Every structure is written in structure tokens, then in C-alpha cells.
Amino acid sequence: MLTQRSRYALRSMLFLATAPADSPPIPMTRIAAEANVPRKFLELILADLRDAGLLHSHRGKMGGYCLSRPAHLISLGEIIRIIEGPLALVPCVSRTAYRPCKDCKSEADCAIRHAMMRVRDETARILDGTSLADATAEDLVAA
């Protein structure tokens, strides 16, 4: 299940993705209001996304945030990994944070591991294959 922090990050990034490419940076207070995210959490989330290279921040009176790449080049999977870490539900199937399970007798024969590997692969396929542009376009179609 996604944490509230991930939902806040996704809502904020989806809001930023709706801004025209040539628009000025969007102030944090506006992002917080439009994405319905408490400002104190938003500061930390945006800093993580900026540090990971998904956002540019601009200081000063006309400062704020904007996407560092076009919305079609930022996937939901990338955002979730930055905020949550690996997509895998168990550490023995993680591609980025692999750890063997302490109580597993044989990874090769573990039915749980095989099932969780399929879950990880399908989850990654869907999230990595869905860009911010895709998600905002689907929102527009659903509205």
C-alpha cells in the first residue's frame, strides 16, 4: 500500500505536470493548495524530488518549482521509488535492495518468492510505463 507521503508526492508532481512548459516556477504554497498537501510535508517531499533530479527549484520572490524534464519522461514508478524505495514487497525479489529472507530454506524453491517476483515485475511494468503525462491525460479523459 502506498504511504501518504507517496500520495502527496504523486499529487504534487501531477499538478506540476499540468503547468505549461514555458510557465514560471510554481510557488510551494500554490502546489500545497492545489495538490491538497500540508506544507510542512511538502517541503521535505519536494526537496527529495529535487535532489533526485525530477524538479528544479528557484529561489526568490518569483521562485518555486518546475519539472526538470518533460512530463512524458517522468514515470510514476520513478517517483514512488524516490519516496518509498524499492517496489518489491519482499527483499529477496528487489532489484535495487536485494536481501535474502532470513527464514527461507531455498530461494530457488520458494513459492512466495516466485509469486512476489511476478507481482514486482507487473507492478514495475505498469508504474514505469505510466508517465506523468499519461496520468494527467487519463485524468482529463475521466473528468
Q: Write out pLDDT tens, residues 77-91.
A: 999 999 998 888 888
55 and 96 co-located in one domain: no
CA distances from 27 to 18, 108, 138 (A): 14, 51, 25
79 and 43 co-located in one domain: no
Q: Write out pLDDT tens, residues 111-142.
A: 988 999 999 999 999 999 999 999 988 655 55
Percent of the chain that is helix, strand, coil (3-state, to 5): 55, 10, 35
* Per-residue pLDDT at 143: 45
10 and 55 co-located in one domain: yes
Contact 9, 76 (CB under 8 A): no
Q: Write out pLDDT tens, residues 35-62.
A: 999 999 999 999 999 999 999 999 988 8
Residue 101 structural domain: 71-129
43 and 8 co-located in one domain: yes
Of 16, 36, 67, which closes a domain? 67
* Per-residue pLDDT at 115: 92
61 and 42 co-located in one domain: yes
Number of domains in the chain: 2
